[in-house]
Amino acid sequence: MADDFEARHAAELNFAAAGAPTAVKGTLGVIVSAFGEGLLSRERAIELVEAVKGRPDIWISAELCDRVIDGLKQVP
């Protein structure tokens, strides 16, 4: 999660300065939120995390992706 923490923090500060405080999520957070809101099935959410994990052009640790996948599998 440290890979884009500074960018997310800067975005949150910019939103707050514009009078629109909001939490900024990273790629995995967006996928998990979409699953939690029923916009993605568990299977599709896991597929997307696996796809992120395999992309050479972005860096999100495989360990973090695996932890997110494990968490998605445990949600009732």
The pLDDT assigned to 3 comes to: 55
Residue-by-residue pLDDT tens, the chain, 76 positions: 455 777 777 888 888 888 887 777 889 999 999 999 999 999 999 999 999 999 988 888 999 999 999 999 999 8
Domain coordinates in residue numbering, the chain: 5-74
- Give the CA-trace dihedral at 25, 31, 32, 37, to 10 degrees: 100
C-alpha distances in Å from residue 4, one per residue of 41, 52, 69: 26, 14, 19
Backbone angles phi, psi at 20, to 5 degrees: -130, 70
b/e string for 12-44 if b means 16 or more Cβ within 10 A?
eeeeeeeeeeeebebbbeebbeebeeeebeeee
The pLDDT assigned to 23 comes to: 76
Whole-prediction pTM: 0.75
